Amino acid sequence: MPSAPARKYRVGILGATGAVGQAFVRLLAGHPWFEITALAASERSAGKPYAEAARWIGDDRIPERVAAMPVLACDPAAVDAELVFSALDASAAGEVEPAFARAGRIVLSNAKSYRMDPDVPLLMPEVNPQHLDVLPTQRERRQWTGAIVTNANCASIPAAMVLAPLHARFGVRRFFMATMQAVSGAGYPGVPSLDILGNVIPYIKDEEPKIEIEVNKMLGHVSHGAIRPAPFAVSAHANRVPVEHGHTVCLSVEFEKPAGATEVLAELREWRGAEEARGLPTAPERPLVVRDEPDRPQPRRDAMEGEGMAVVVGRVRADPVFHVKLVAMAHNIVRGAAGASVLNAELMAARGLLDRP
């Protein structure tokens, strides 16, 4: 069980007004290790109280202390925080995140801008905590004292979680994946209602290429200060469906060492993830929850499993073309975005990586 840090860390949220930014506010408002000290967004929002700048899309109220806080510009000089959680649009993240790292801040990012750089962890504490070992190389190469640590696309995360134990045991040779992604994955206001109500859109810009490289990186290994992706082949189809929260992914997987549904199920049931992720404040009791009913997982019923941090998996069965097929689902805004970053920060705190001068 990781011990709590001696003090709370001062944290900022960049892109605090958006869909993921709001999830950060919710997760961090009562956090035992972190205290929100700054909120920042675009020039459109800067200068306004948070409650006025953010169109709050939750069923709950904005935490009182946060509602009155002013929204700042994304400027390291204005943002009083030791680490920042970034929910910035990628158009802004590309410049803003390195500016914070150069100013000595740890940046925990949801944006795609630096995800695939070999010296930037695409971190999942249960799966690849050792990827943090590239940070000294990142600092040396980029000549900054801060750091950028990212989490993956919201559809790559459930796939990586379910494949992690299977890759370790049987070796993934290739997999096929089709997604059914919730509308909240497109941010706010996101997809126009007349496009998505009663409909399926078989296209999400840039999504398939992301999935086809991110899972390999997450399941890769560190060598000479760089993350080397796992070598399996991936084919991904991405679809937007009229679901509020929760991305569902259907996977067909072929292994190096042939395995059937029974062995795969046993592996999934047994897996608890990396030891050092267990007991972190945002870590779910079980990162993978196996459902045996023939019609689960379902986003409406299962997205909040483990406070939204568990990946729910079911329908594990033989595949006539590959070895097995299964269905996995995760809350795209919690496990797939803000909750993933918060868990990453907790792992760094538990390792003492937030206490650098």
- Catalytic sites, residue numbers: 154, 247
Beta strand pairing call for 247-255 and 172-180: antiparallel
Nearer of residues 40 and 326 to ligand NAP, judged by Cβ: 40
The reply on whether position 2 binds ligand NAP by CB under 6 A is: no
Contact assessment for residue 150 and residue 157, using Cβ atoms and an 8 Å cutoff: no
Chain-centre distance of CA 316, in angstroms? 24
CA dist 108 and 43 (Å) reads 21
String marking each residue 40-79 x if it binds ligand NAP according to CB under 6 A: -xx-xx----------------------------x-----
Closer to ligand NAP by Cβ: residue 111 or 283: 111
Closer residue to ligand NAP, CB minimum distance, 110 or 282: 110
- Does residue number 150 form part of the binding site for ligand NAP (CB under 6 A)? no
- Count residues contacting ligand NAP (CB under 6 A)? 30
With binding defined as CB under 6 A, does residue 337 bind ligand NAP? yes
Stretch that binds ligand NAP, among 16-24, 255-263, 266-274, 342-350 (CB under 6 A): 16-24
Q: Give the sheet arrangement for strand 172-180, strand by strand.
A: 233-237, 172-180, 247-255, 324-330, 311-318, 288-290
Residue 81: name the closest of 8, 143, 17, 31 by CA. 8
CA distance 112 to 90: 6
x-marked contacts with ligand NAP along 90-129 as a string, rule CB under 6 A: xxx-----------------xx------------------
CB nearer ligand NAP, residue 104 or residue 187: 187
Is residue 20 within 8 A of residue 333, CB to CB? The reply is yes
Positions touching ligand NAP (CB under 6 A) are 15-21, 41-42, 44-45, 74, 87-92, 110-111, 153-154, 184-185, 187-188, 332-333, 336-337
